[in-house]
């Protein structure tokens, strides 16, 4: 195999599906059954009247595997459209996380300062804890959570990545 085909890439895919029972199981079963990676997967209904859901999947693989993933998704019967945002270029990627930190004294104030720097909001507070809400690219959230570790990080809940292309056109 030429080297180019062996290169592992990270791709973000948007998948528009009929919101019918089992559709998520189909997508996940496809990934587990064929041994593809799922780094992140999010799903939610985006149009109630037309019963459409949008799935955002972040995956890694060689270019040949990524092409397979797109084609395999596309041939699932309830799938309307698959878009490889990474291939198509300009797109936005965001993730939301809630980060719980427990501490008092200097650690607590340091946590608050850092939260401000990261534009994280406090959405719950007790005398010994905060829950921060932070939105951004996944690596920003990784970094924030990492910085909170020595300051009393208790737990993190993350939504997974949602993504959309820039400009006026739709999926």
Partner 1 sequence: MTTATASAATATPTGTKMTGAEMVIKAFADQGVAHIFGYPGGAVLPIYDALFLQDQIEHILVRHEQAAVHAAEGYARSSGKVGVVLVTSGPGATNAVTGLADALMDSIPIVCISGQVATHLIGNDAFQECDTVGITRPCTKHNYLVRDVNDLARVLHEAFYVAQNGRPGPVVVDIPKDVQFATGTYVGRENIQHKTYRPKLEAEDAQINAAVEMIASAKKPIFYTGGGVINSGPEASRLLRAFARETGVPVTSTLMGLGAFPASDPQWLGMLGMHGTYEANLAMHDCDVMVCIGARFDDRITGRLDAFAPHSKKIHIDIDPSSINKNVKVDLPIVGDVARVLGAMSRAWAAKGLSTDKAALTAWWAQIDRWRSRQCLAYRASDTIIKPQYAIERLYNAVKDKDVYITTEVGQHQMWAAQFCHFEEPNRWLTSGGLGTMGYGLPAAIGAQKAHPGALVVDIAGEASIQMNMQEMSTAMQFDLPVKVFILNNKYMGMVRQWQELLHGGRYSHSYSEALPDFVKLADAFGGVGIRCDKPADLDAAIQEMISVKRPVIFDCIVDQQENCFPMIPSGRAHNEMILGDMAVDLDEAITDEGKMLV
Measured from the CB atom, is 79 or 161 closer to partner 1?
A: 79
CB of 85 to partner 1, least distance (A): 19
What pairs with residue 52 in β-bridges? 18, 47
Measured from the CB atom, is 63 or 142 closer to partner 1?
A: 63
CB of 35 to partner 1, least distance (A): 13
CB of 121 to partner 1, least distance (A): 40
Measured from the CB atom, is 13 or 111 closer to partner 1?
A: 13
Beta strands in 49-120 (DSSP E): 52-61, 79-84, 91-102
The sign of the dihedral angle between the CA atoms of 134, 140, 145, 151 is: negative
Measured from the CB atom, is 60 or 129 closer to partner 1?
A: 60
CB of 72 to partner 1, least distance (A): 5
Query: Is residue 52 left, alpha or beta, with left meaning phi > 0 and alpha meaning psi from -120 to 50?
Result: beta
Q: Between β-strands 91-102 and 121-126, what pairing exists: parallel, antiparallel or unpaired?
A: unpaired
Which parts of this chain interact with partner 1 (CB under 8 A)? 1, 5, 18, 21-22, 25-26, 29, 33, 64, 67-68, 71-72, 74-80
Q: CA-to-CA distance for 117 and 131, rounded, in angstroms? A: 16
In this structure, what are the phi and psi dihedrals at residue 162, rounded to the nearest 5 degrees? -115, 150
């Amino acid at each position: 195999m030429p080297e180019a085909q062996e290169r592992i890439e990270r791709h973000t895919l948007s998948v528009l599906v009929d919101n019918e029972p089992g559709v998520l199981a189909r997508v996940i079963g496809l990934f587990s059954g064929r041994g593809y990676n799922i780094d992140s997967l999010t799903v939610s209904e985006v149009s109630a009247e037309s019963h459409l859901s949008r799935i955002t999947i972040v995956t890694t693989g060689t270019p040949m595997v990524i092409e397979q993933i797109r084609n395999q998704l596309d041939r699932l019967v309830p799938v309307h459209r698959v878009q490889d945002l990474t291939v198509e270029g300009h797109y936005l990627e965001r993730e939301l996380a809630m980060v719980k930190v427990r501490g008092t004294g200097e650690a607590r104030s340091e946590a608050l300062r850092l939260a401000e720097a990261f534009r994280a909001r406090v959405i719950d507070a007790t005398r010994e804890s905060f829950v921060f809400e932070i939105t951004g690219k996944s690596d920003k959230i990784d970094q924030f959570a990492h910085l909170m570790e020595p300051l009393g990080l208790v737990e993190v809940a993350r939504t997974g990545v949602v993504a959309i292309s820039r400009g006026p056109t739709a999926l």
